């Protein structure tokens, strides 16, 4: 484990855009004065003639991208999740979602792991907002390999897509070889029978670590990466609930409106199952180093171990 490669998924996104850009001239990128942070500057260096800085004006950027999509281009728009899903919500809803235009929203700096910038920049509500828009695909990758594959899948898909990438460098656990990504499909990373942990983003790796610890204590954990939050892989969620009888969701997002609620809604209608939602508990974040914040907010393997034991009656 000592030599695990780490990379922030925002950087993976920037790299993937550059690769895609070399193959597809209809791909253009809009950014809002954050190209160095969102990493679209990687694309910008390669293709300056089709990287458009919009300045600090996310509303215009979002609707302008809709216009470019209406002309047949495939625009990716990048800014922080707070300003993409949050500030430009209504532009996404009315100018991209309603006409179902082919715009890809590459939102970076999602969740509490934004760290030192504090609550104003820690967007833990984006899945909720984006899920509520009819026809919107909502995804969040867990590592570099998945993030790059996701960006490519988003390009190939016709229609609006919201992707959330992280600021912090996270371990790469997928193997590049024989890896394939499919929008709307969950990924069973580890089989188990006592409890199913459904996670996305950087919580997937935490879930894998927790499963390891729990195995040593006699709890068999199924770990599923739910990189696509909408459309939810309902068949897989139901299968996991039937197999394990207990479900834990975990995400770097409010427990309101994200993966947790999507899973609860599905299970309560089709397969009532005890569920615990691990996420940000309806509160704002604050400044601090990402790692320390994640621990404080219970977004850690340690906390998952606790929750799983409680749910399985092991404590």
Task: Map the footprint of other proteins across residues 86-105, applying CB under 8 A.
Answer: 90-91, 94-95, 98-100
Residue 289, interface with other proteins (CB under 8 A)?
no
Query: How many residues bind to other proteins according to rule CB under 8 A?
Result: 30
Q: Is 58 a catalytic residue?
A: yes
Residue 279, interface with other proteins (CB under 8 A)?
no
How does strand 161-164 pair with strand 275-280?
unpaired
The crossing angle, in degrees rounded to 10, of helices 259-270 and 234-244 is 70
**Shortest gap between Cβ of 178 and other proteins (angstroms)?**
37
Residue 21, interface with other proteins (CB under 8 A)?
no
Return the number of the residue (17 or 68) whose C-beta is nearest other proteins.
68
DSSP character at residue 123: B
Residue 70, interface with other proteins (CB under 8 A)?
yes
Which of 25, 49, 58, 269 is the catalytic position? 58
CA 168, distance to chain mean position in Å, is: 13
For 72-143, where are the alpha helices, taking DSSP H only?
81, 89-91, 126-131
In sequence order, which residues have a C-beta less than 8 Å from that of residue 208 and are 6 or more positions away?
173, 189, 190, 223
Helix (H, G, I), strand (E, B) or coil at 103: coil
Binding test (CB under 8 A) with other proteins, winner from 46, 50, 188, 256:
50
Residue given tokens 């509500």 in the structure block: 125
**Shortest gap between Cβ of 87 and other proteins (angstroms)?**
11
For 84-233, where are the alpha helices, taking DSSP H only?
89-91, 126-131, 144-156, 203-216
Residue given tokens 């920049």 in the structure block: 121
**Shortest gap between Cβ of 75 and other proteins (angstroms)?**
8
In sequence order, which residues have a C-beta less than 8 Å from that of residue 266 and are 6 or more positions away?
232, 234, 237, 238
Residue 67, interface with other proteins (CB under 8 A)?
yes
**Shortest gap between Cβ of 252 and other proteins (angstroms)?**
30
Which residue from 186, 225, 182, 181 is spatially nearest to 202, judged by alpha carbons? 225
Residue 75, interface with other proteins (CB under 8 A)?
yes
Measured distance CA(297)–CA(290) in Å, rounded: 11
Quick one: which segment of 63-71, 151-159, 214-222, 276-284 binds other proteins (CB under 8 A)?
63-71
Upstream peptide bond of 231 is cis (omega within 30 degrees of 0): yes
Residue 84, interface with other proteins (CB under 8 A)?
no
Quick one: which segment of 72-80, 116-124, 189-197, 281-289 binds other proteins (CB under 8 A)?
72-80
**Shortest gap between Cβ of 83 and other proteins (angstroms)?**
13
Quick one: which segment of 68-76, 117-125, 130-138, 247-255 binds other proteins (CB under 8 A)?
68-76
Phi-psi region of 298 (alpha: psi -120 to 50; beta: other; left: phi over 0): left
Residues recognised as catalytic? 58
Contact set with other proteins (CB under 8 A): 28, 49-50, 52, 54-55, 57, 59-73, 75, 90-91, 94-95, 98-100
């Amino acid at each position: 484990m000592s030599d695990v490669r780490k990379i922030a998924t925002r950087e993976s996104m920037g790299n993937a855009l550059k690769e895609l850009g070399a193959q597809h001239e209809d791909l253009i990128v809009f950014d809002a004065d954050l190209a160095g942070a969102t990493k679209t500057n990687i694309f910008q260096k390669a293709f300056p003639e089709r990287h458009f800085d919009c300045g600090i004006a996310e509303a215009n950027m979002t609707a302008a991208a809709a216009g470019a999509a209406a002309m047949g281009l495939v625009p990716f728009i990048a800014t922080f999740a707070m300003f993409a899903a949050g500030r430009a919500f209504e532009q996404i809803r009315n100018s991209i979602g309603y006409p179902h235009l082919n715009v890809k929203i590459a939102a970076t700096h999602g969740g509490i792991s934004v760290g030192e910038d504090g609550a104003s920049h820690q967007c833990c509500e984006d899945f909720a907002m984006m899920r509520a828009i009819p026809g919107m695909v909502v995804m969040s990758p867990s590592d570099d390999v998945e993030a790059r594959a996701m960006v490519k899948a988003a390009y190939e898909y016709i229609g609006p897509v919201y992707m959330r990438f992280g600021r912090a460098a996270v371990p790469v656990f997928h193997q590049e070889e024989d890896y394939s990504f499919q929008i709307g499909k969950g990924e069973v990373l580890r089989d188990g029978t006592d409890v199913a942990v459904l996670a996305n983003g950087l919580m997937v790796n935490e879930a894998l670590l927790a499963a390891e610890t729990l195995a040593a204590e006699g709890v068999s954990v199924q770990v599923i990466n739910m990189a696509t939050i909408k459309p939810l892989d309902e068949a897989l969620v139901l299968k996991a609930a039937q197999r394990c009888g207990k479900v834990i969701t975990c995400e770097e997002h409010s427990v309101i409106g994200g993966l947790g609620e999507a899973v609860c809604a599905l299970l309560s209608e089709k397969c009532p199952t005890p569920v615990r939602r691990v996420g940000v508990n309806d509160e704002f974040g604050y400044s601090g180093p990402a790692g320390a914040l994640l621990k404080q907010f219970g977004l850690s393997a340690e906390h998952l171990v606790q929750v799983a034991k409680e749910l399985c009656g092991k404590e």
